[in-house]
């Protein structure tokens, strides 16, 4: 792997190791508080051998990355977002503790802002035993000139490491000839640490629609259990044992193997040849569209809906329209089974409805006025236009399905301006 530097939030210098074929599926590895990118060394090697492109990051204030006064979860999330912008495609993220929380916040913010998922899957782990953290950080922060003595002291503090040659990676030369603990002492301040749990992760994760695995050890149940209850479709795995806080083993453990099984079951390491996906997404964003909410009902008559801007007219005779759904959408199966759907073109004052139906709110219709017409699908009231359609045909197209509908009934309010979506944000029509 090679060292790379990335500019993070507010210009901070972030250091990462990258390896593998950059044309393949990317995996971003994020460590926990008081760790470094070296925590993932064994897993990173295995992922690269399997064919993935791997980037392992030192969080701000850790390892070789820069120090700063701001160690809030918000700043860490902005750093993760900056790293994601440098990757050629939507990566899989594997995050431990603090790193995982920062990634969740970064992905959730972007989804709430643009309605898009910027990662393809998420694995969060919290499997470290707290009992082996007996580090005399004052001694380690003060440092010393004898590297061997510091390594021996570090080994004793974590119960005797089996591979002490790895421990030098947790020390760094910050002053000439003097070795210090790898992280900024400022991270230990009460003000900084307290902000890491202040953020309500439930709010940001509610908008994510990605495969997610949450892994905890069976000796210490953790916050992931509560998080699993708030994320529909997330898989909670309790794995036997715990992991030392500082990793010194060159071998994969049971937690690594569980992560590998999850990734390999959902992601092919080699991606087909294609245009730069991130550049393509930004380029397609130059085409301004309206914003619609597509609606139908499930087999029990419960209303279902989602926000989409992939809507267009197809034919006047017969009257056909289409929209597209991502194959990963939780609502896909319901739309496949339904024989009718509604297309609701939102007006400029209905941005809140767009955001509501782009989130994972359990009852999106509770605060949305709607009615039913002949085909018994929900039609949102006060829109700029609405179409009631019978399903005509479904076409498989890459990572989406195209639904063609025959318009049964349409309605227009010519006095209402439409809501627009352009370059990742909402806009309004300026009438002249």
8 Å CB contact between 53 and 26: yes
8 Å CB contact between 134 and 157: yes
In sequence order, which residues have a C-beta less than 8 Å from that of residue 340 and are 6 or more positions away? 296, 375, 376, 377, 388, 389, 390, 391, 405, 408
8 Å CB contact between 145 and 179: yes
8 Å CB contact between 411 and 385: yes
Q: What is the pLDDT of residue 344?
A: 97
Q: What is the pLDDT of residues 323-373, one digit of tens each?
A: 999 888 888 999 999 999 999 999 999 999 998 898 766 678 988 999 999
- Of 108-117, 138-147, 251-260, where does mean pLDDT reach its minimum? 138-147
Per DSSP, 62 falls in state: S
Q: How confident is the prediction for the chain on average, in pLDDT?
A: 82
Q: What is the pLDDT of residues 25-58, one digit of tens each?
A: 899 999 988 888 988 888 999 999 888 999 999 9
Token pair 């034919």: residue:
315
DSSP letter string over 249-300?
-SS--HHHHHHHHHHHHH--SSPPS-S-HHHHHHHHTTS-EE-EEEEEE-TT
Q: Which SS3 state, helix, strand or coil, does residue 410 take?
A: strand
Q: What is the pLDDT of residues 268-320, one digit of tens each?
A: 676 554 555 666 777 787 899 999 999 999 999 999 999 999 999 999 999 99
Q: How far is CA 81 from the centre of its chain?
A: 10
| Residue 301, Ramachandran bin (φ over 0: left; ψ between -120 and 50: alpha; else beta) | left
Q: What is the pLDDT of residue 58?
A: 95
- SS3 of the chain: helix, strand, coil, percent, to 5: 30, 30, 40
8 Å CB contact between 113 and 425: yes
Predicted confidence (pLDDT) at residue 153 exceeds the cutoff of 90:
no
CB atoms closer than 10 angstroms to residue 211: 19
User: Residue 222's closest CA among 207, 210, 237?
Assistant: 237
Nearest-angstrom CA–CA distance, 77 and 102: 4
User: Residue 424's closest CA among 111, 92, 178?
Assistant: 111
CA atoms within 13 A on the CB side of 278: 15
Q: What is the pLDDT of residue 72?
A: 87
8 Å CB contact between 134 and 122: no
């Amino acid at each position: 792997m090679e060292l790379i530097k990335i500019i993070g939030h507010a210009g901070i210098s972030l250091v990462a190791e990258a390896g593998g074929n950059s044309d393949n599926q990317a995996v971003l590895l994020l460590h926990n508080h008081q760790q470094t990118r070296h925590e993932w060394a064994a897993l990173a090697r295995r992922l690269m051998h399997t064919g993935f492109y791997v980037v392992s990051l030192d969080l701000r204030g850790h390892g070789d990355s820069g120090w700063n006064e701001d160690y809030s979860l918000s700043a860490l999330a902005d750093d993760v977002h900056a790293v994601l912008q440098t990757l050629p495609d939507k990566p899989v993220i594997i995050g431990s503790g603090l790193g995982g929380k920062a990634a969740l916040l970064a992905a959730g913010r972007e989804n709430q802002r643009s309605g898009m998922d910027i990662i393809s899957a998420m694995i969060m782990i919290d499997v470290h035993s707290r009992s082996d953290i007996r580090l005399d950080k004052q001694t380690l922060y003060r440092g010393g000139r004898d590297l061997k003595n510091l390594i021996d002291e570090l080994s004793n503090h974590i119960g005797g490491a089996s591979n002490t040659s790895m421990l030098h990676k947790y020390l760094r030369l910050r002053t000439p000839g003097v070795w210090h603990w790898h992280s900024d002492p400022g991270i230990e301040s009460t003000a900084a640490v307290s902000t890491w749990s202040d953020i309500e992760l439930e709010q940001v994760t509610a908008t994510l629609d990605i495969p997610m695995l949450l892994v905890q050890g069976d000796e210490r149940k953790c916050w992931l259990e509560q998080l699993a209850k708030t994320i529909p479709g997330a898989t909670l795995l309790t794995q036997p044992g715990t992991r030392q806080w500082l990793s010194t083993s060159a071998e994969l453990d049971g937690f690594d193997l569980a992560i590998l099984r999850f990734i390999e079951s959902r992601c092919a390491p080699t991606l087909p040849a294609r245009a730069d996906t991130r550049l393509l997404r930004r380029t397609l964003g130059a085409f301004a569209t309206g914003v619609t909410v597509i609606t139908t009902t499930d087999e029990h008559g419960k209303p279902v809906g989602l926000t989409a801007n992939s809507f267009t007219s197809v034919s006047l005779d017969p009257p056909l329209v289409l929209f597209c759904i991502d194959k990963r959408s939780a609502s896909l199966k319901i739309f496949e089974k339904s024989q009718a759907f509604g297309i609701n073109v939102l007006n400029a004052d209905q941005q809140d409805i767009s955001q509501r139906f782009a989130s994972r709110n359990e009852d999106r219709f509770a605060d949305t006025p709607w009615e039913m017409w002949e085909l018994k699908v929900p039609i949102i009231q006060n829109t700029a236009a609405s179409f009631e359609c019978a399903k005509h045909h479904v076409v498989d197209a890459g990572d989406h399905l195209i639904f063609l509908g025959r318009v049964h009934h349409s309605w227009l309010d010519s006095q209402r301006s439409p809501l627009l979506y352009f370059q990742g944000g909402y806009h309004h029509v300026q009438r002249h």
